[in-house]
Amino acid sequence: MVGNDLQMITGIALIITALAHGHAIDLYHTRLVFETVSFVGISNAAALVCYTFTNTKAPKDRLHRFMPAHWTPRFRVSYLFAVLFLALTIFLEIRLDEWSLTAEEPGFCYVTTGLSMSSAGHPVSDKGYVATTAIWLLLVMLGALFCSAKFRRPLLILSGLQFPLHLYMMIKLRIENQPYLEGESENAWDFGQTTATILLGLAIGQLVHEGVAYLKFENGLKKYGPQYALFPDDRDPESGTLLEEGFRAIQEVKRGIDNTRDTRDARVGRASDVERHGESSESHELTRTPESTPENRA
pLDDT by residue for the chain (298 residues), tens only, comes to 777 888 888 899 999 999 999 888 999 999 999 999 999 988 888 888 877 766 555 555 555 454 556 777 888 888 999 999 999 999 999 999 999 988 888 889 999 999 988 888 899 999 999 999 999 999 998 888 888 777 888 888 988 899 999 999 999 999 999 888 877 677 777 777 787 788 778 778 888 998 898 898 888 888 877 767 766 555 444 445 555 566 667 667 777 776 766 666 655 555 555 555 555 555 545 445 454 444 444 4
pLDDT of residue 237: 43
pLDDT of residue 265: 61
pLDDT of residue 297: 46
Cβ-contact 221, 229 below 8 angstroms: yes
d(CA 43, CA 58): 23
Find the distance separating the first CA and the last CA of the chain, reported in whole Å: 97
pTM of the model: 0.65
Cβ-contact 31, 42 below 8 angstroms: no
Q: Peptide bond preceding 232: is omega within 30 degrees of 0, i.e. cis? A: no
d(CA 208, CA 106): 45
pLDDT of residue 98: 92
Q: Compute the 3-state secondary structure of the chain and give helix, strand, coil in percent, each to the nearest 5.
A: 80, 0, 20
